[in-house]
Amino acid sequence: MIEIEGLTKRYGEKVAVKNLTFTVRPGLVTGFLGPNGAGKSTTMRMILGLDRPTGGDVRIDGAPYDRLRDPLKHIGALLDAKAVHGGRSARNHLLCLAQSNGIPASRVHEVLDTVGLTAVARKKAKNFSLGMGQRLGIAGALLGDPRILMFDEPVNGLDPEGIHWIRTLMQNLAAEGRTVFVSSHLMSEMAVTAEHLVVIGQGRLLADTSMADFIRRNSRSYVRMRTPQHEHLLDLLHTEGITPVAADDGALEVDDARPEHLGELAARHGIVLHELSPKQASLEEAFMRLTAESVEYHAHARPAQPPPRPPEPARQWGADWKKGS
Ligand code: ADP
Ligand code: MG
């Protein structure tokens, strides 16, 4: 288990991580999602004690990283796959790591086998492809047989086969009851990898929710309507107790409605429709909406009436989404 409480990191004027509080639990893959620059890597470095928090704290199985005895046996991490001494062979790299952490050398062969590098174990790491380097980094993370694993954007730059392999590995590790925490800036990647989701934007917590809940809440289906008789249609919908959302281009969007119902309603009142189309919002859109500044968010989808309330701080989304999870 990783417990993060009030975690904050400032670099001079820049606040990279702001008052983050969440817990990463064992037995499932937790996705750490946020656009580039959101503060994911900074948070992960602080979890590993590689960066000192400006405020708040991190506990790994109840203790700060620097108080763990044999930390590699508690938490293994892949932060930067290029952080391997290129002149060494894969095997020697892992042997050095094992030796300095009190891990038996026999474990090196096991992890090489797990990541499929046995055949190239004696080749120099600097000649490895990106995918092989990534596998070597993961072998290092697995070396101490830790109960907690952390991966920072592990699928970046990998081919589909490599992506599939890493995804399956993470899910298997979670199925063994381990805590698996993985970051990505891609909603689509998290949707197929993670069971739980922590979303951050500009260093702040935006959502902490199960993936199923995130999908349920964000698979918004609606009907788009465009008409030259805008006011007339708006009045009619309000009379029917329907509150549409105004789209950027002047169209009206009606949530969870059937197009035939709306079309017949308009026809009965002699309203000409230039568009009547059922739509399904994508998870990618939901993620972009969530992480965009609240001002931008309200520009994209605001209630047509009553007039929009002042933008709420983005943090409230976190609180709101957390409630339902
Ligand atoms: P992510 O991993 O989500 O892309 P990072 O944690 O790398 O985001 O960065 C978060 C913010 O902190 C960014 O604006 C980045 O420029 C800034 N940052 C990260 N590391 C440093 C550093 N060592 N010095 C100054 N600013 C930093
Ligand atoms: Mg990063």
How far apart are alpha carbons 149 and 77 in whole angstroms? Answer: 6
Closest ligand to residue 153's CA: 2
In 211-221, which positions are buried (b, 16+ CB within 10 angstroms) versus exposed (e)?
beebeeebebe
Looking at ligand 1, which residue's alpha carbon is closest to its atom 23?
Answer: 11
Q: Rounded to whole angstroms, how far apart are CA atoms 75 and 30?
A: 15
Residues 6 or more apart in contact with residue 299 via CB below 8 angstroms: 248
Q: How far is the CA of 106 from the centre of ligand 2 (A)?
A: 33
- Give the distance (Å) from ligand 1 centre to CA of residue 305: 40
Assess contact for 269 and 232: CB atoms under 8 A.
yes
From ligand 1's centre to the CA of 102, what distance in Å? 33
Whether residue 201 has its Cβ less than 6 Å from ligand 1:
no
Q: pLDDT at position 88, please? A: 87
pLDDT score recorded for residue 280: 81
Q: Which residues contact 223 (CB under 8 A, 6 or more apart)?
A: 253, 254, 257, 258, 259, 262, 276, 277, 278, 279
Which of 11, 33, 44, 48 is the pocket-test mutation for ligand 1 (most atoms within 8 Å of CB)? 11
Is there an atom of ligand 1 within 6 Å of 42 CB?
A: yes
DSSP code of residue 103 = -
Q: Are strands 2-11 and 14-24 parallel, antiparallel or unpaired?
A: antiparallel
Q: Which helix (H) or strand (E) holds 214?
A: helix 211-218
Amino acid, res. 226: R
* Amino acid identity for residue 207 in this structure: A
Ligand 1 contacts CB of residue 100 (under 6 A): no
Spacing, Cα 88 to ligand 1 middle (Å): 30
**Cα-to-centroid distance, 45 and ligand 2 (Å):** 10
Q: Which uninterrupted H or E stretch holds 142?
A: helix 130-142
Q: Tell me the pLDDT of the chain (325 aa) as tens digits.
A: 999 999 999 999 999 999 999 999 999 999 999 999 999 999 999 999 999 999 999 999 999 998 888 889 999 999 975 666 668 899 999 999 999 889 999 999 999 999 999 999 999 888 888 888 889 999 999 999 999 999 999 998 788 999 999 999 999 999 999 999 999 999 999 999 999 999 999 999 999 999 988 888 777 789 999 999 999 999 999 999 999 999 889 999 999 899 999 999 999 999 999 999 998 877 888 888 888 753 343 444 444 544 444 444 433 343 334 333 3
